[in-house]
Copies of this chain bind each other. A is one copy, B any other.
Amino acid sequence: MNQSNCMVAQSGGPTAAINASLAGVISGIKKSGKYDTCYGAINGILGILNERYLNLSQMIPDEKNLNRLKVTPAMYLGSCRHKLPDYKDDDSAYVFIFNQFAKLNIKAFFYIGGNDSMDTVLKLSDYAAKIKSDIRIIGVPKTIDNDLCMIDHTPGFGSAAKYIASTMLEIAHDTFIYAVKSVTIVEIMGRDAGWLTAASALARNDYNTAPHFIYLPEVAFDKEQFLTDIRNKLKTLNNVIVAVSEGIRDKNGDYITASKAVADQFGHQQLSGAGKALEFLVKENIGVKVRSIEINVLQRCASHLASATDQSEAFALGEHAVLLAEEGVTASMVTLTRTSNTPYAVAYDHAPIRGIANEAKSIPREWINAHGNDIRQELYNYLYPLIQGEVSLTYQNGVPVYMPVPHLKPDHVS
Protein backbone atom coordinates (compact mmCIF):
# COMPACT_ATOMS: atom_id res chain seq x y z
CA MET A 1 0.00 0.00 0.00
CA ASN A 2 1.67 3.17 -1.20
CA GLN A 3 -1.18 5.61 -0.89
CA SER A 4 -0.91 9.35 -1.00
CA ASN A 5 -3.63 10.99 1.06
CA CYS A 6 -4.36 14.39 2.52
CA MET A 7 -6.29 15.83 5.42
CA VAL A 8 -8.36 18.95 6.02
CA ALA A 9 -9.94 20.42 9.15
CA GLN A 10 -11.80 23.55 10.25
CA SER A 11 -11.39 25.56 13.40
CA GLY A 12 -12.49 28.72 15.25
CA GLY A 13 -15.82 30.54 14.84
CA PRO A 14 -18.26 29.85 12.01
CA THR A 15 -18.68 31.89 8.85
CA ALA A 16 -21.03 31.59 5.89
CA ALA A 17 -18.08 30.87 3.58
CA ILE A 18 -15.89 28.45 5.52
CA ASN A 19 -17.48 25.44 3.84
CA ALA A 20 -16.82 27.07 0.47
CA SER A 21 -13.12 26.84 1.34
CA LEU A 22 -13.59 23.20 2.34
CA ALA A 23 -15.33 22.62 -1.00
CA GLY A 24 -12.41 24.37 -2.67
CA VAL A 25 -9.91 22.04 -1.01
CA ILE A 26 -11.95 18.99 -2.02
CA SER A 27 -12.29 20.31 -5.57
CA GLY A 28 -8.57 21.10 -5.75
CA ILE A 29 -7.71 17.59 -4.62
CA LYS A 30 -9.97 16.07 -7.25
CA LYS A 31 -8.43 18.24 -9.94
CA SER A 32 -4.87 17.44 -8.87
CA GLY A 33 -5.39 13.69 -9.09
CA LYS A 34 -2.39 13.18 -6.82
CA TYR A 35 -4.24 12.09 -3.73
CA ASP A 36 -6.19 8.89 -3.18
CA THR A 37 -8.31 9.94 -0.22
CA CYS A 38 -9.16 13.24 1.39
CA TYR A 39 -9.76 12.83 5.12
CA GLY A 40 -11.66 15.39 7.19
CA ALA A 41 -10.68 15.60 10.85
CA ILE A 42 -13.75 16.17 13.04
CA ASN A 43 -13.62 19.18 15.36
CA GLY A 44 -10.38 20.61 14.05
CA ILE A 45 -7.08 19.45 15.46
CA LEU A 46 -9.01 17.57 18.16
CA GLY A 47 -10.21 15.21 15.44
CA ILE A 48 -6.64 14.03 14.91
CA LEU A 49 -5.96 13.75 18.64
CA ASN A 50 -9.16 11.71 19.01
CA GLU A 51 -8.72 9.78 15.74
CA ARG A 52 -12.09 10.92 14.41
CA TYR A 53 -12.14 11.26 10.64
CA LEU A 54 -14.55 11.39 7.75
CA ASN A 55 -13.71 10.12 4.29
CA LEU A 56 -14.59 13.24 2.30
CA SER A 57 -13.78 11.61 -1.02
CA GLN A 58 -16.71 9.29 -0.34
CA MET A 59 -19.03 11.77 1.40
CA ILE A 60 -18.76 14.56 -1.18
CA PRO A 61 -18.57 12.40 -4.27
CA ASP A 62 -19.87 14.77 -6.93
CA GLU A 63 -20.41 18.34 -8.12
CA LYS A 64 -23.93 18.47 -6.68
CA ASN A 65 -22.68 17.71 -3.17
CA LEU A 66 -19.81 20.11 -3.59
CA ASN A 67 -22.14 22.94 -4.60
CA ARG A 68 -24.43 22.25 -1.68
CA LEU A 69 -21.47 22.19 0.71
CA LYS A 70 -20.32 25.55 -0.70
CA VAL A 71 -23.49 27.35 0.45
CA THR A 72 -23.82 25.63 3.83
CA PRO A 73 -23.08 27.80 6.89
CA ALA A 74 -20.64 27.00 9.70
CA MET A 75 -18.29 24.01 9.77
CA TYR A 76 -19.26 20.80 8.00
CA LEU A 77 -16.41 19.12 9.89
CA GLY A 78 -17.16 20.77 13.22
CA SER A 79 -14.77 23.10 14.98
CA CYS A 80 -12.65 23.47 18.09
CA ARG A 81 -10.87 26.09 20.11
CA HIS A 82 -7.84 24.05 21.08
CA LYS A 83 -4.43 25.62 21.56
CA LEU A 84 -1.48 23.29 21.11
CA PRO A 85 1.26 23.66 23.71
CA ASP A 86 4.75 24.70 22.66
CA TYR A 87 6.39 21.48 21.49
CA LYS A 88 9.51 22.38 23.45
CA ASP A 89 7.45 22.14 26.64
CA ASP A 90 5.45 19.08 25.68
CA ASP A 91 5.71 17.34 22.33
CA SER A 92 3.33 14.44 23.07
CA ALA A 93 0.47 15.90 20.99
CA TYR A 94 2.86 16.53 18.09
CA VAL A 95 4.23 13.00 18.21
CA PHE A 96 0.68 11.67 18.17
CA ILE A 97 -0.42 13.94 15.31
CA PHE A 98 2.55 13.10 13.06
CA ASN A 99 2.13 9.41 13.83
CA GLN A 100 -1.46 9.76 12.65
CA PHE A 101 -0.26 11.51 9.51
CA ALA A 102 2.19 8.64 8.87
CA LYS A 103 -0.41 5.97 9.57
CA LEU A 104 -2.90 7.54 7.15
CA ASN A 105 -0.24 8.38 4.52
CA ILE A 106 -1.01 12.09 4.78
CA LYS A 107 1.13 14.19 2.45
CA ALA A 108 -0.61 17.51 2.97
CA PHE A 109 -2.65 19.04 5.80
CA PHE A 110 -4.96 22.00 5.22
CA TYR A 111 -6.27 23.93 8.22
CA ILE A 112 -9.12 26.37 7.57
CA GLY A 113 -9.47 28.98 10.30
CA GLY A 114 -8.68 32.38 11.80
CA ASN A 115 -5.95 33.81 14.01
CA ASP A 116 -5.88 30.99 16.56
CA SER A 117 -5.98 28.33 13.87
CA MET A 118 -3.00 29.94 12.15
CA ASP A 119 -1.17 29.55 15.47
CA THR A 120 -1.80 25.81 15.13
CA VAL A 121 -0.50 25.90 11.53
CA LEU A 122 2.63 27.69 12.74
CA LYS A 123 3.26 25.21 15.55
CA LEU A 124 2.71 22.16 13.33
CA SER A 125 4.98 23.72 10.70
CA ASP A 126 7.73 24.35 13.24
CA TYR A 127 7.49 20.81 14.52
CA ALA A 128 7.49 19.42 10.98
CA ALA A 129 10.67 21.37 10.26
CA LYS A 130 12.27 20.06 13.45
CA ILE A 131 11.53 16.42 12.61
CA LYS A 132 12.28 17.04 8.91
CA SER A 133 8.80 15.90 7.87
CA ASP A 134 7.93 16.66 4.25
CA ILE A 135 4.21 16.93 4.96
CA ARG A 136 2.90 20.18 3.48
CA ILE A 137 1.09 22.28 6.05
CA ILE A 138 -1.04 25.10 4.66
CA GLY A 139 -3.42 27.49 6.41
CA VAL A 140 -6.60 28.58 4.63
CA PRO A 141 -7.88 31.84 6.12
CA LYS A 142 -11.41 32.56 7.33
CA THR A 143 -12.89 34.92 9.85
CA ILE A 144 -15.85 37.27 9.75
CA ASP A 145 -13.71 39.72 11.75
CA ASN A 146 -11.41 40.48 8.78
CA ASP A 147 -8.49 40.91 11.16
CA LEU A 148 -5.92 38.56 9.63
CA CYS A 149 -2.66 40.10 8.40
CA MET A 150 -1.00 39.61 5.01
CA ILE A 151 -4.32 39.28 3.20
CA ASP A 152 -6.46 42.03 1.65
CA HIS A 153 -9.57 40.71 3.39
CA THR A 154 -10.65 37.38 4.86
CA PRO A 155 -13.18 34.90 3.49
CA GLY A 156 -16.36 35.02 5.54
CA PHE A 157 -16.11 38.75 6.06
CA GLY A 158 -17.87 39.74 2.83
CA SER A 159 -20.90 37.57 3.58
CA ALA A 160 -21.21 38.88 7.12
CA ALA A 161 -20.80 42.42 5.78
CA LYS A 162 -23.54 41.85 3.19
CA TYR A 163 -25.88 40.54 5.89
CA ILE A 164 -25.11 43.50 8.14
CA ALA A 165 -25.61 46.05 5.35
CA SER A 166 -28.90 44.51 4.19
CA THR A 167 -30.16 44.14 7.75
CA MET A 168 -29.21 47.73 8.57
CA LEU A 169 -31.26 48.91 5.58
CA GLU A 170 -34.22 46.81 6.73
CA ILE A 171 -33.85 48.14 10.28
CA ALA A 172 -33.89 51.67 8.85
CA HIS A 173 -37.19 50.93 7.10
CA ASP A 174 -38.50 49.44 10.35
CA THR A 175 -37.37 52.41 12.44
CA PHE A 176 -38.62 55.40 10.52
CA ILE A 177 -42.30 54.55 10.72
CA TYR A 178 -43.31 56.47 13.83
CA ALA A 179 -43.56 60.24 14.13
CA VAL A 180 -41.85 60.22 17.50
CA LYS A 181 -38.18 60.78 18.22
CA SER A 182 -36.19 57.61 18.77
CA VAL A 183 -32.70 56.20 18.91
CA THR A 184 -31.87 52.69 17.71
CA ILE A 185 -28.56 51.08 18.67
CA VAL A 186 -27.39 48.16 16.53
CA GLU A 187 -24.61 46.11 18.12
CA ILE A 188 -22.36 44.31 15.66
CA MET A 189 -19.63 41.71 16.24
CA GLY A 190 -15.96 42.65 16.37
CA ARG A 191 -14.09 42.53 19.66
CA ASP A 192 -10.85 44.15 18.49
CA ALA A 193 -11.48 45.39 14.96
CA GLY A 194 -14.38 47.42 13.59
CA TRP A 195 -14.53 46.06 10.04
CA LEU A 196 -17.96 44.45 10.44
CA THR A 197 -19.48 47.49 12.13
CA ALA A 198 -18.03 49.71 9.41
CA ALA A 199 -19.80 47.56 6.81
CA SER A 200 -23.15 48.83 8.10
CA ALA A 201 -22.36 52.00 6.11
CA LEU A 202 -23.02 49.99 2.95
CA ALA A 203 -26.73 50.28 3.81
CA ARG A 204 -26.67 53.94 2.83
CA ASN A 205 -28.26 54.84 -0.47
CA ASP A 206 -29.98 57.75 -2.18
CA TYR A 207 -32.77 57.82 0.41
CA ASN A 208 -31.25 56.19 3.48
CA THR A 209 -28.54 57.92 5.54
CA ALA A 210 -28.55 55.31 8.35
CA PRO A 211 -26.47 54.38 10.23
CA HIS A 212 -26.02 57.99 11.31
CA PHE A 213 -23.07 57.21 13.57
CA ILE A 214 -20.56 54.37 13.61
CA TYR A 215 -18.50 53.68 16.75
CA LEU A 216 -15.53 51.37 16.40
CA PRO A 217 -13.02 49.68 18.72
CA GLU A 218 -10.24 51.57 16.90
CA VAL A 219 -11.32 54.87 18.52
CA ALA A 220 -11.61 55.41 22.29
CA PHE A 221 -15.29 55.78 23.13
CA ASP A 222 -16.24 59.04 24.85
CA LYS A 223 -19.60 58.94 26.59
CA GLU A 224 -20.10 62.72 26.54
CA GLN A 225 -19.15 62.99 22.88
CA PHE A 226 -21.60 60.19 22.07
CA LEU A 227 -24.44 61.98 23.87
CA THR A 228 -23.57 65.22 22.10
CA ASP A 229 -23.59 63.40 18.74
CA ILE A 230 -27.05 61.99 19.43
CA ARG A 231 -28.50 65.24 20.81
CA ASN A 232 -27.30 67.20 17.81
CA LYS A 233 -28.60 64.67 15.31
CA LEU A 234 -32.03 64.56 16.95
CA LYS A 235 -32.37 68.27 16.17
CA THR A 236 -32.64 67.56 12.46
CA LEU A 237 -33.78 63.93 12.36
CA ASN A 238 -36.58 62.08 14.14
CA ASN A 239 -34.97 58.67 14.23
CA VAL A 240 -31.28 58.21 14.82
CA ILE A 241 -29.67 54.86 14.13
CA VAL A 242 -26.28 53.97 15.58
CA ALA A 243 -23.96 51.11 14.63
CA VAL A 244 -21.62 50.06 17.42
CA SER A 245 -18.95 47.37 17.72
CA GLU A 246 -19.27 45.00 20.64
CA GLY A 247 -15.62 45.81 21.32
CA ILE A 248 -15.73 49.59 21.96
CA ARG A 249 -13.56 50.72 24.87
CA ASP A 250 -13.02 53.92 26.81
CA LYS A 251 -9.71 55.80 26.82
CA ASN A 252 -8.43 53.53 29.59
CA GLY A 253 -9.02 50.51 27.40
CA ASP A 254 -11.99 49.25 29.44
CA TYR A 255 -14.87 47.71 27.51
CA ILE A 256 -18.12 49.71 27.43
CA THR A 257 -20.61 47.18 28.76
CA ALA A 258 -23.77 47.16 30.80
CA SER A 259 -22.42 44.55 33.08
CA LYS A 260 -22.05 45.36 36.73
CA ALA A 261 -24.19 43.86 39.46
CA VAL A 262 -26.94 42.66 37.21
CA ALA A 263 -29.44 40.32 38.84
CA ASP A 264 -32.71 38.89 37.62
CA GLN A 265 -35.77 37.52 39.33
CA PHE A 266 -33.96 34.26 39.98
CA GLY A 267 -31.08 36.15 41.60
CA HIS A 268 -28.60 35.59 38.79
CA GLN A 269 -26.07 37.92 37.32
CA GLN A 270 -25.54 38.75 33.71
CA LEU A 271 -23.22 40.47 31.29
CA SER A 272 -24.63 42.69 28.60
CA GLY A 273 -22.93 44.29 25.71
CA ALA A 274 -22.05 47.66 24.28
CA GLY A 275 -25.47 48.01 22.63
CA LYS A 276 -27.30 47.81 25.97
CA ALA A 277 -24.80 50.21 27.54
CA LEU A 278 -25.47 52.82 24.85
CA GLU A 279 -29.21 52.19 25.16
CA PHE A 280 -29.04 53.01 28.87
CA LEU A 281 -26.90 56.09 28.23
CA VAL A 282 -29.55 57.48 25.88
CA LYS A 283 -32.42 56.47 28.16
CA GLU A 284 -30.92 58.13 31.22
CA ASN A 285 -29.47 61.23 29.60
CA ILE A 286 -31.68 62.08 26.65
CA GLY A 287 -34.94 60.40 27.47
CA VAL A 288 -36.23 59.65 23.98
CA LYS A 289 -37.57 56.25 22.98
CA VAL A 290 -34.58 53.95 22.60
CA ARG A 291 -33.97 50.30 21.76
CA SER A 292 -30.93 48.17 21.10
CA ILE A 293 -30.64 45.30 18.65
CA GLU A 294 -27.86 42.71 18.82
CA ILE A 295 -27.45 41.06 15.44
CA ASN A 296 -25.74 38.17 17.26
CA VAL A 297 -24.71 34.93 15.49
CA LEU A 298 -27.05 35.59 12.57
CA GLN A 299 -24.39 37.79 10.97
CA ARG A 300 -21.99 34.87 10.72
CA CYS A 301 -24.35 32.02 9.79
CA ALA A 302 -26.92 33.64 7.47
CA SER A 303 -25.81 31.83 4.34
CA HIS A 304 -29.10 32.70 2.69
CA LEU A 305 -27.63 36.18 2.23
CA ALA A 306 -24.01 35.27 1.51
CA SER A 307 -21.89 37.38 -0.81
CA ALA A 308 -21.19 35.62 -4.10
CA THR A 309 -17.83 37.41 -4.25
CA ASP A 310 -16.94 36.10 -0.80
CA GLN A 311 -18.07 32.59 -1.57
CA SER A 312 -16.16 32.30 -4.82
CA GLU A 313 -12.99 33.71 -3.24
CA ALA A 314 -13.28 31.29 -0.31
CA PHE A 315 -13.60 28.42 -2.79
CA ALA A 316 -10.67 29.65 -4.89
CA LEU A 317 -8.46 29.95 -1.79
CA GLY A 318 -9.23 26.32 -0.95
CA GLU A 319 -8.30 25.21 -4.45
CA HIS A 320 -5.16 27.36 -4.42
CA ALA A 321 -4.03 25.80 -1.14
CA VAL A 322 -3.93 22.40 -2.85
CA LEU A 323 -1.91 23.86 -5.73
CA LEU A 324 0.59 25.31 -3.28
CA ALA A 325 1.01 21.97 -1.54
CA GLU A 326 1.69 20.34 -4.90
CA GLU A 327 4.32 22.96 -5.62
CA GLY A 328 6.03 22.07 -2.36
CA VAL A 329 5.00 25.11 -0.38
CA THR A 330 4.56 24.57 3.36
CA ALA A 331 4.43 26.59 6.61
CA SER A 332 2.30 29.12 4.77
CA MET A 333 -1.15 30.60 4.51
CA VAL A 334 -2.83 31.04 1.16
CA THR A 335 -3.58 34.74 0.60
CA LEU A 336 -5.32 37.08 -1.77
CA THR A 337 -4.27 40.49 -2.99
CA ARG A 338 -6.55 43.12 -4.48
CA THR A 339 -4.96 43.89 -7.82
CA SER A 340 -7.59 46.42 -8.82
CA ASN A 341 -10.59 48.04 -7.13
CA THR A 342 -12.49 49.26 -10.21
CA PRO A 343 -13.03 46.83 -11.72
CA TYR A 344 -12.50 44.72 -8.65
CA ALA A 345 -9.95 41.93 -9.13
CA VAL A 346 -7.86 39.73 -6.87
CA ALA A 347 -4.82 37.49 -7.26
CA TYR A 348 -4.06 34.42 -5.15
CA ASP A 349 -0.72 33.94 -3.49
CA HIS A 350 0.73 32.82 -0.16
CA ALA A 351 2.70 34.17 2.76
CA PRO A 352 4.86 32.58 5.48
CA ILE A 353 2.71 31.62 8.45
CA ARG A 354 5.12 33.20 10.92
CA GLY A 355 4.08 36.77 10.10
CA ILE A 356 0.37 35.96 10.38
CA ALA A 357 -0.28 33.81 13.44
CA ASN A 358 -1.12 35.83 16.55
CA GLU A 359 -1.17 39.16 14.68
CA ALA A 360 -4.33 41.23 14.16
CA LYS A 361 -5.28 43.90 11.65
CA SER A 362 -7.33 46.91 12.72
CA ILE A 363 -8.92 49.59 10.56
CA PRO A 364 -6.32 52.26 9.72
CA ARG A 365 -7.16 55.41 11.71
CA GLU A 366 -7.07 57.50 8.52
CA TRP A 367 -10.03 55.51 7.18
CA ILE A 368 -12.13 56.76 10.11
CA ASN A 369 -13.31 60.38 10.29
CA ALA A 370 -11.66 62.88 12.63
CA HIS A 371 -14.53 62.79 15.15
CA GLY A 372 -14.28 59.00 15.30
CA ASN A 373 -18.00 58.56 14.72
CA ASP A 374 -18.14 57.53 11.06
CA ILE A 375 -16.05 55.97 8.31
CA ARG A 376 -14.30 57.77 5.44
CA GLN A 377 -14.90 57.20 1.75
CA GLU A 378 -11.63 55.20 1.48
CA LEU A 379 -13.03 52.55 3.80
CA TYR A 380 -16.35 52.52 1.96
CA ASN A 381 -14.48 51.94 -1.30
CA TYR A 382 -12.52 49.09 0.29
CA LEU A 383 -15.68 47.43 1.64
CA TYR A 384 -18.01 47.94 -1.28
CA PRO A 385 -16.75 45.23 -3.72
CA LEU A 386 -16.75 42.55 -1.03
CA ILE A 387 -20.54 42.28 -0.69
CA GLN A 388 -21.36 42.17 -4.38
CA GLY A 389 -23.27 39.30 -5.90
CA GLU A 390 -25.96 37.02 -4.52
CA VAL A 391 -25.54 33.28 -4.10
CA SER A 392 -27.93 30.93 -5.75
CA LEU A 393 -29.78 28.93 -3.11
CA THR A 394 -32.32 26.16 -3.43
CA TYR A 395 -35.29 26.20 -1.06
CA GLN A 396 -37.23 23.16 0.04
CA ASN A 397 -40.29 23.26 2.30
CA GLY A 398 -39.80 27.01 2.54
CA VAL A 399 -36.28 26.96 4.03
CA PRO A 400 -32.84 26.92 2.39
CA VAL A 401 -31.38 23.57 1.40
CA TYR A 402 -28.00 23.05 3.03
CA MET A 403 -25.66 20.10 3.20
CA PRO A 404 -26.75 17.68 5.94
CA VAL A 405 -24.04 18.04 8.55
CA PRO A 406 -22.86 14.76 10.10
CA HIS A 407 -22.90 16.00 13.69
CA LEU A 408 -26.40 17.45 13.26
CA LYS A 409 -27.87 14.06 12.44
CA PRO A 410 -30.44 12.84 14.97
CA ASP A 411 -28.47 9.66 15.65
CA HIS A 412 -25.21 11.49 16.25
CA VAL A 413 -23.88 11.45 19.78
CA SER A 414 -20.30 12.59 20.17
Contact = CB atoms under 8 A, between A and B. Distances in A.
A226 to B, nearest CB: 12
A169 interface: yes
Contacts of A409: 207
Interface string A249-282: 0000000011111111110101010001101110
Contact of A399 (B270, B276, B387, B396): B387
Contact of A298 (B202, B210, B298): B298
A227 to B, nearest CB: 11
B179 A408 contact: no
A177 interface: yes
Interface residues of A, number: 91
A389 B205 CA distance: 28
Number of copies of this chain in the oligomer?
2
28 contacts: A46-B179, A74-B177, A75-B177, A78-B176, A79-B177, A162-B399, A166-B398, A170-B400, A173-B303, A174-B300, A174-B301, A207-B404, A207-B410, A223-B266, A236-B413, A237-B413, A238-B407, A257-B265, A258-B266, A260-B264, A262-B264, A262-B270, A264-B276, A266-B281, A270-B276, A294-B294, A294-B296, A304-B305
A304 B166 contact: yes
A266 B284 contact: yes
A80 interface: yes
B296 A405 contact: no
A283 interface: yes
A405 B178 CA distance: 13
Interface string A297-321: 1101111110100000000000000
A174 B265 contact: no
Nearest to A50: B179
A194 interface: no
Interface in A116-136: none
Interface in A135-176: 162, 165-167, 169-174, 176
